[in-house]
Structure 1
Amino acid sequence: MKTRFREFKDYYKILGVAENSTDTDIKKSYRKLALKHHPDHNKNAPNSEEKFKQITESYGVLIDPLKRKQYDRFRADHLAGRTNEYSQFRYTQQDIFEEMRRKGFGKDIFEELNREFSKSGFRSGNSFFQTTLMGGALGGIVRVLGMIPGPIGRVGQGLRIAHMVGTSLFALKKMHDAKSAGNPKDQPNVKNPDILESVKGVFNKGENSQNSLDYNLSMTIPPKEALAGTNKKISYEIDGMPEQLMIRIPEKFPHGGKLRIKGKGHSKDKKRGDLILQVKVSH
């Protein structure tokens, strides 16, 4: 059941557009603000992710004719100090994001944004929007997991879920010694892996890591799995300790593409690097 917002949000003000703005105006403003407030562009700003959510929420309402009409009525009553149950805007932020997800984060303006994000080395794609907009709370994580086909999408008893935040490999110069990296092994019988990691970004094979705490692995998958997407269970030893991960490799994955899993690399002085997983496609 949909419930109304607990607080009023001025979507026009958040997006910086006028009340009579056209769809073109709204898309233009959202594109500009989304690039400006992408969390990877503002890593030192603690509220960057929340700001990104607010502008995306505003866009999701104002670009939808029905929602915009309902919101305009609600907004007019609010600004006039009137309370009218018939004009209450009853969509929550999660309602809005869920509908946007169903329509596809990779379509329309999101397709353009993903290209811009990728060029800048920021996280992008369906998984970025799903994780950032819907993965901030346990309920959001369950929604994301539910989108993964097969038994992995069902959160089983005893499965620990860690919500990891991916970061970009863009503009990093030096690869950690590949000889010390080793290769992960598929572990089809591994039960209850520590992490079910939904992919946050796909990076070009030429983009490397200069963090000495990062740990580099590679694995090979058949063309069929690269095309359709797949879930992979892997295990490896790091600093004398075993690690078990479950990785979601998205569809149409490029040969040599890399995934970053935060906090699964080497440990030193209470800091921990990331796991950099390169996925090769067999021929």
Structure 2
Amino acid sequence: MSKDYYKILGIQKDATTEEIKKAYKKLAIKYHPDKNKGNKFAEEKFKEINEAYEVLSSPQKKNNYDNFGSADFNNNFNTESFSKGFKNTSFHHFENFELFSNIFGSSTKGILKDKEITIKISLYDAYMGGKKSILTNNEKIEINIPKGTSATTQLRFNGKGNINPISGKRSNLIIKFEISSYKNFTLKERNLETKIRVYPWEIALGSEKIFETIEGKKIKIKIPKDTKNGEKLILKGLGMPALGNTVKGDLKVKLIVDVPKIINDEVKKIYERLKELYN
């Protein structure tokens, strides 16, 4: 066995995949060319570390190496070209790659994974649509948020994802959304839900209330008599628009009874009279 890859990475032969990756990351950062300009020893060490990781991170190559002392590594990997590729990559970017497992697939064969970014938007922006900009790979990306965006919506930007440090090619960028509530509105599937406070006589006798929708429109809500506390009024077609068309879900308004405080003797007498009637 010409080289002891386990010794190079400073790990035991029974090291786990995570331990191998952790050891590699630590050493690769330590001996990266950007931190050791002109240092031949560090340059050779960096090549050696990458060679060891290429073998030990691949189950098939690791198995060949453990059993036969060779992974046929030199037939399909050129450490010189690999190292030169990373000389053109800044150390800052290298640290944020989370190594190759995040920018490539499960191995380091050069198949780039799409870069996924989740951005937070308000329910108002999801309902109305809007714009948002992000900075990724030192590039500003303008995102048009479509009306009816939900937590399952994904936007794809071709060629704006991870950068292959060797070839310079880029994968795609996938934008996902995390939607926060807006004012008193929340989203459940395609339905909007909110709450309004009402007085006991409003739900007992029936009444009308002015209500402001998520888009700021004022509408009149009819509360039927004998409505119960916590009951939901369903307003058809006032919910979340479906992505790509005008169909909307419903708006569910939960009624919360607000019991008035006793502010004077007259109110106290009313409560005492109600007590007599219901006893």
Q: Which has the higher contact order (CA 8 A, sep 6+)?
A: 1
> Which structure shows the bigger proportion of residues in strand conformation?
2
Could you tell me the TM-score, scaled by structure 2's length?
0.31
TM (norm. structure 1) is 0.30
Highest Rg: 1 or 2?
2
